[in-house]
A = this chain, B = another copy of it.
Amino acid sequence: MLGTAAIRLGCRVAILSDSADCPAKGSCSELLVGSSASLDSLKKLAGSVDVLTLENEFVDSELLRALEGEGTLVFPTAQSIALVQDKLLQKRVLAEHSLPVPEFEPLDDFSAMKEIGQRFGYPFLLKKRRNGYDGKGNFTVRSQEDISKAWKALNGDQNGLYAERFFPFNSELAIMISRSKEGTEVAYPVVETIQKEHICHIVKAPAQFPRSILEEATSLARQAVRAFNGIGSFGVEMFLGPEGNIVINEMAPRVHNSGHYTIEACECSQFENHIRAVLGWPLGSSAMLAEGAAMVNLLGAGDGTGWPQGIEKALGIPGAFVHLYGKEKSSVARKMGHVTALGSNVGKALQKAERAANALQFGNV
């Protein structure tokens, strides 16, 4: 989706992927096959481009720093990525900027777990500092008996972990911010996200909460992206508590699933604004083109090909924008595509998107 946005603006896109047959192959002029954990591969990519950017936060920031040292323009910067990709550092930066986060604590060894349980109470969360996503790398410690299981599940002897006090939330909010090198920002509408087994399932745009809450969420998200000197499109995930109190759950230094709806629903999508931001161009408007929008993820139901059953039924539903990612294979809960719909309100948009999404099935058919 980033490639498509860049191509529309006349850019040439080179991509580094570990697979010669990756879905992005159809949206780039040059596909380099290699590992983003290899400095050599990254250097090869850097040699092909004017600006290097990321679509995930898993590239080691030290490698990015090495590229910057050789003169490559990397946006977001290695420093931003360093502070976001280590979730403990991320929490510290947010806390240092007086931004609300659930109480957290580094965990250097197993022996500290019990004391944390006493201090935070149960349940509390055990999290990997790096490489977690969609709930992977998190463990909910429900009682003292879970402590050993949690430590083993996340391999605490090998991985840096930290603990987080459970924040009882009613809803999850998210917001995309695109920020330029000069510090200009564009904030997209606050959306409500509904997860299914820790994976983003539904996005409602805009979120249907009082204006004061939406304004507070937007203000926090703007401050958060500034705290990391973020350049490009950044996702900010938040929890909304029962008293309307908001904490920041997690930052994503990249385009984000909660912003896919912006392709059809906003004047300038999160993808185009990411490209504009990293190229130093003026940002586009995040204004919505409809009163309501909704996005439903298409998740694999089981093992199978990447091509769904039901395409004719789904495309027969007027106003549903079907996106299929062209992945080679489906597996349980793998993101295989998404559907966006617009409407005169969020509910109507969601109905349309769900009808199309329900018509499509990946794997186990």
Contact = CB atoms under 8 A, between A and B. Distances in A.
A285 interface: yes
A319 B267 contact: yes
- Copies of the polypeptide in the assembly: 2
A344 B191 CA distance: 26
Given A27-B7, A27-B26, A318 B12 contact: no
A315 interface: yes
A13 B26 contact: yes
B315 A281 contact: yes
A276 B314 CA distance: 12
A322 B9 contact: yes
Given A3-B26, A26-B28, A282 B316 contact: yes
Contact of A315 (B284, B307, B316): B284
Interface residues of A, number: 38
Contact of A12 (B26, B285, B316): B26
A10 B282 contact: no
A11 interface: yes
Contacts of A11: 326
A243 interface: no
30 contacts: A3-B26, A4-B4, A4-B8, A4-B27, A7-B27, A8-B322, A8-B324, A9-B322, A9-B324, A10-B306, A10-B307, A10-B324, A10-B325, A10-B326, A26-B27, A26-B28, A26-B29, A27-B27, A267-B318, A267-B319, A281-B311, A281-B315, A282-B312, A282-B315, A284-B315, A284-B318, A285-B318, A285-B319, A287-B318, A289-B290
